[in-house]
Structure 1
């Protein structure tokens, strides 16, 4: 009985330690997003549908689609704009043409800052889920691998 209890306590402590290291939207991504992305993707930006209908207008205004909440940001990770966050932020490691995504440069002032912030986004999305695939190409396994903890 004591062995079972000790194993349960140890398992609980290990799980808690893993959760303490988990990258979450609230603790890690939101502050990063606020410092690096909010100017163009904040409350003044249009929602995805409106942006898609009037993209040229909003690009001229230096506005991208709105991503100022957890739910809004998830639309660019999982659905309906599957993989858009990854395609835009990728550092060229996964791109076929060897070019970084068009938003990668905004992840920081230096390459070191960009790499650190990209690593945070990758940890949040999940290493197994970091894909540049669109919704018609992504597998169920890849979709369910998305972590994106709140």
Structure 2
């Protein structure tokens, strides 16, 4: 599939998902948590190390197929707002927000097909606060105004 067709398809899928969730706010409990359990929990669940522990021995945890723990609302917020600002966005992005067009290293795990990945990405984006809040800046780069865009409803 050509890149232009893929982009059109992605926009259409995102629009459909957003239209379906616009009537009700996207929440961690009702939307993100079930998606996270299906796509992320195997590597980022309760058996995984917290961020600091992961950073101390990344190679070991990568061999064990374990990433930093993200099994609660509070833990997941670490990777959106602080202390690892923008990590969730950088890892899950489809490449449409990068200068090189390269997707994040976890994008492929959002689904088996591009349609599934785009649909699931749209849920995460809506939870964060939409395209305006999908900010991939690192800690120390993000402004107070940008932080205020995050929604992250429980």
Do they superpose with TM above 0.5?
yes
Distance 2:85 2:35 in 1: 21
What residue in structure 2 maps to residue 142 of structure 1?
146
TM-score after normalising by structure 2: 0.84
Say if 2:67 is the partner of 1:80. Answer: no
Cα distance per residue 1:56-105 (max 9 Å; x no partner): 11001100000000000000000000000000000001112210000000
Q: Give the one of 111, 115, 126 matched to 2:118.
A: 115
Larger radius of gyration: 1
Q: What secondary structure is seen at the aligned counterpart in 2 of 1:117?
A: helix
Distance 2:99 2:67 in 1: 24
CA RMSD of aligned residues (A): 1.3
Matches within 5 A, 1:17-32: 21-32=24-35
Distance 1:97 1:51 in 2: 28
Q: What secondary structure is seen at the aligned counterpart in 2 of 1:105?
A: helix
> 1:37 offset after TM fit, Å?
0.2
Distance 2:81 2:23 in 1: 24
Moved over 6 A (4+): none
> 1:20 offset after TM fit, Å?
5.3
More relative contact order, 1 or 2 (CA 8 Å, 6+ apart): 2
Q: What secondary structure is seen at the aligned counterpart in 2 of 1:114?
A: helix
Instruction: Give the total of aligned pairs.
Output: 133
